Amino acid sequence: MQQGLASAVKRQHEITPTEGGKLRIPRGFLTPGFITAATSLGHTYRVTGIEFANPGSHQGYFSALQVPFMLFGADDFAMARPNRGSRYSPMQMLENAADVDRATTETADCIRHHTGDLPGIGRLCSVIGELHDNVRAHADGAGFSMAQLWSYKGQYDVIEFAVVDAGKGFFRECQRRAVPGVTDHVSAIDWCLRKEHSTKDIDHEDFAQQQPEDAMGNPFGQATDVMYCHDGNHHQGLGLDQLMNLVRHYDGELWIASGDTLLSSTPATRAEYEFGSYAAVPHWQGVAIACRLKLSELGKNIEEEPLSDDVQSILDDLTF
């Protein structure tokens, strides 16, 4: 049985039943969406260990992905990781600019290992970088990211990447900006998937003073609004609508959970609805995104568009 992002969101209270308890990992084939969501839950609930229903299948796998290292600070995997950067990118915590760059580079390397520089791959990788930056820009708690390639039922190779956080979520961000027409989690997800819609740049007034993100206190006084400059954060608010467009072009699958709502966007659900089908789920604190694409589809029906100066600067920073 396959356990994906939807399974993790629906079963989150089984995965982390108590604060300070153990993370409970069920049987089945675990996708990056499930593993990343479970890791985020473990971090939020400060779990003290991991309990595997099938340790023979999953315990070594979680160690190779660095999940125990992310949760407990100890890397218990004694062997080399020869498939890192080709078959998977390990779990990364997205707390600062270096984390964002590292996670984006590792995921992009994993994709390009199999595709090279086919048309559209640069755009896909820049969108993944934007999703990572979104977590840093909007999430109160730490976010997590990973990717993996596998053979789907022995028929074709797929790659799935997942980005999950425990921040405010789309609805609260839209409320903070007073976005017209956004009244619940469904309309918030829908709004964020629209072209050029973004909740960026709403944490300060237009004439706010600037100081570094690690600055202590406010030297301008409490009456003066301050914008903390996120050194290395290139967040442009360009991610979700472009991701949705790429998923459509590549005939892929996308799952987005925020608040009490899960969007499942597959070729079948998009045929009936614009973005896909919405379902009620137990409340997810933050945003959880998983995207699955067939390797054979990458590069098809896509023409590489010239990159903007801002996006090109991101890629230039990542190539060293």
Give dist(CA 29, CA 58) in Å, integer.
9
pLDDT of residue 39: 97
What is the number of helices (H) and of strands (E) in the chain?
12, 11
**Percent of the chain residues topping a pLDDT of 70:** 79
pLDDT of residue 318: 53
Give dist(CA 23, CA 238) in Å, integer.
34
Give dist(CA 104, CA 192) in Å, integer.
21
Instruction: Tell which wins on pLDDT, 117 or 213.
Output: 117
Within 10 A of 211 (CB to CB), how many other CB atoms are there? 16
Placement of tokens 């896509």 in the chain: 302
Lowest mean pLDDT segment, chosen from 213-227, 242-256, 299-313: 213-227
Give dist(CA 189, CA 278) in Å, integer.
10
Listing DSSP states for 115-147 in one string gives HTT-TTHHHHHHHHHHHHHHHHHH-SS-EEEEE
Q: Which of 5-9, 118-122, 164-168 has the highest mean pLDDT?
A: 5-9
What's the burial of 212, exposed, middle or buried (CB within 10 Å: 0-12/13-18/19+)?
exposed
Give dist(CA 253, CA 202) in Å, integer.
30
Residue 212 pLDDT exceeds 80: no
Q: Mean pLDDT across the stretch 128-133?
A: 92
Q: Mean pLDDT across the stretch 285-290?
A: 95
Give dist(CA 75, CA 271) in Å, integer.
44
pLDDT per residue over 17-73, tens digit each? Answer: 889 999 999 999 999 999 999 999 999 999 999 999 999 999 999 999 999 999 999
Predicted confidence band of residue 308 (pLDDT cuts 50, 70, 90): low
Lowest mean pLDDT segment, chosen from 159-168, 189-198, 228-237, 280-289: 228-237
pLDDT of residue 207: 46
Give dist(CA 123, CA 238) in Å, integer.
11
Please report, for residues 127, 160, 288, 293, the alpha-carbon distance to residue 247 in angstroms, rounded to integers and kept in the order given: 11, 12, 16, 7
Please report, for residues 124, 196, 289, the alpha-carbon distance to residue 161 in angstroms, rounded to integers and kept in the order given: 11, 23, 8
DSSP state of 176: H
Prediction pTM value: 0.83
Spatial contact of 239 and 265, defined as CB atoms under 8 Å apart: no
Apex 122 CA angle, 119 and 128, nearest 5: 130
Give dist(CA 220, CA 205) in Å, integer.
14
**Percent of the chain residues topping a pLDDT of 90:** 59
Q: Mean pLDDT across the stretch 140-155?
A: 86
Q: Mean pLDDT across the stretch 249-264?
A: 96
pLDDT of residue 223: 52
Task: Find all residues with CB under 8 Å of 170, minimum gap 6, and list them.
Answer: 185, 188, 189, 191, 192, 199, 258, 259, 287
Q: Mean pLDDT across the stretch 283-304?
A: 86
Where b means 16+ CB within 10 Å and e means fewer, 83-111 reads ebbebbbbbbbbebbebbbbbbbbbbbbb
Predicted confidence band of residue 259 (pLDDT cuts 50, 70, 90): very high
Give dist(CA 270, CA 286) in Å, integer.
24
Spatial contact of 96 and 136, defined as CB atoms under 8 Å apart: yes
3-state secondary structure of 210: strand
Predicted confidence band of residue 141 (pLDDT cuts 50, 70, 90): low
Average pLDDT, the chain: 84
Instruction: Tell which wins on pLDDT, 307 or 64.
Output: 64
pLDDT of residue 316: 61
Residue 232 pLDDT exceeds 80: no
